[in-house]
Amino acid sequence: MIEVEGLTKRYGATVAVSDISFQVQKGEILGFLGPNGAGKTTTMRVITGFLTPSEGSARVAGVDVVEKPLEAKRHLGYLPENPPVYPEMKVREYLTFVARIKGVARGEIKKRVEEVAEKCAVTDVQNRQIGKLSKGYRQRVGLAQALVHDPDVLVLDEPTAGLDPKQIIETRDLIRGLAGRHTIILSTHILPEVSKTCQRVLVINQGKVVAEGTPDELTRRLQGYETVLVTAEGPAPEIMDRLQQVGGVNLVEPREAADSRVTFEVHAEKGQDVRADLARAVVESGWKLFELKTSGLSLEDIFLKLTTKDLSEEPAAAHAAAVQ
């Protein structure tokens, strides 16, 4: 539904986006994750036809955004970083105005405005001036205007920025509810956002894609080994020895002890699932097994790994590890 190929955008000597390629399938939610200045907004502005690329191309629903901007825009709804809402207009009046300029058929406008107002939960403020709404409500109005012509593709630039926790949860629920019917790209530099809202993540740093995958895939690819946490009751040194003997296990370290229970961190060969063998080793030795779970790098760790200087100095290595 969205195809970006070899996209580069330069502002004078600044390369904001450098040779980015990716695709988004119909109905998918793709998250752009990256620190400030990574190139998220720039990429989104190219996709939505507000900026022309220096090199490369972007297609939306098969339509090239540079060659056929008007046709591409019909498939697109865009919530920019700072939503262009007119403070003196009333919500309903504004949505009606946007529906008209986006070419919604005259007879359909009233129905569409009512539908999106309902969907974005702004019906109760529809007769209020936009400038007097809270930030959360204004953001919902921004989403409603992006949706009013029922576009296939939604491009949402930091849709939850500046919202309070309750509004963030509501907005995420709303966005998740839109997937399937709409194809969505959203940008964020907030980590929990991508794992909570997106099915796939593109990590961007300094204008380049440094990793791509589901949050789970990224965790697995970037970690050199599998980690399992085993909590058991019994003589700690013996348990440790026994766990160490399980095939595929490289390292066992005690992590915490409470009462008579000890939790061990077990590192195993990458790609090996040693959980069943660990469980058997504990139980067959007559000790009590309380918990056994895999533990990965948090998305936070991954993000840091991918965007800190160490790795960005070796982009080829990071890329090879992360993108397949």
Ligand X SMILES: Nc1ncnc2c1ncn2[C@@H]1O[C@H](COP(=O)(O)OP(=O)(O)OP(=O)(O)O)[C@@H](O)[C@H]1O
CB of 40 to ligand X, least distance (A): 3
Question: Taking the complex as a whole, how short is the minimal distance between the CB of residue 41 and Mg ion, in angstroms?
Answer: 3
Residue/partner pairs of 158-162 with CB below 8 Å, 24 or more apart: 158/81, 158/186, 158/187, 158/188, 158/189, 159/79, 159/186, 159/188, 160/188, 160/190, 160/193, 161/81, 161/188, 162/135
Applying CB under 6 A, which part among 20-28, 31-39, 100-108, 251-259 lies near ligand X? 31-39
DSSP 247-300: TTEEEEEEEEEETTEEEEEEEE-TT---HHHHHHHHHHTTPEEEEEEE----HH
Q: Which is nearer to ligand X, 219 or 307 (CB)?
A: 307
Residue 56 binds which entry of ligand X, Mg ion, none, with Cβ cut-offs from 5 to 8 Å by kind? Answer: none
Q: Using CA atoms, how far apart are residues 51 and 33, in angstroms rounded to an integer?
A: 20
Choose the contact partner of 189 out of ligand X, Mg ion, none; CB within 5 to 8 A by kind. ligand X
Q: Return the residue of 102, 138, 189, 267 that touches ligand X, per CB under 6 A.
A: 189
- Decide: is 38 part of the binding site for ligand X (CB under 6 A): yes
Element holding 6 (H helix, E strand): strand 2-11
Q: Which of 16, 47, 120, 147 binds ligand X (CB under 6 A)?
A: 16
Q: Decide if residue 39 touches ligand X (CB under 6 A).
A: yes
Tell me which of Mg ion, ligand X, none is bound by residue 39, counting a contact when its beta carbon lies within the kind-specific cut-off of 5 to 8 angstroms. Answer: ligand X
Positions in the binding site for Mg ion (CB under 5 A): 40-41
Instruction: Indicate the residue among 40 and 182 with the shorter CB distance to ligand X.
Output: 40
Q: Are 320 and 263 in contact (CB under 8 A)?
A: no
Separation CA 219–CA 63 (nearest Å): 34
Among 36, 101, 107, 310, contact with ligand X (rule: CB under 6 A) = 36
14 sits near ligand X (criterion: CB under 6 A): yes
The structure tokens listed for 271 are: 């790609």
Q: Interface residues with ligand X (CB under 6 A)?
A: 11, 14, 16, 34, 36-42, 189
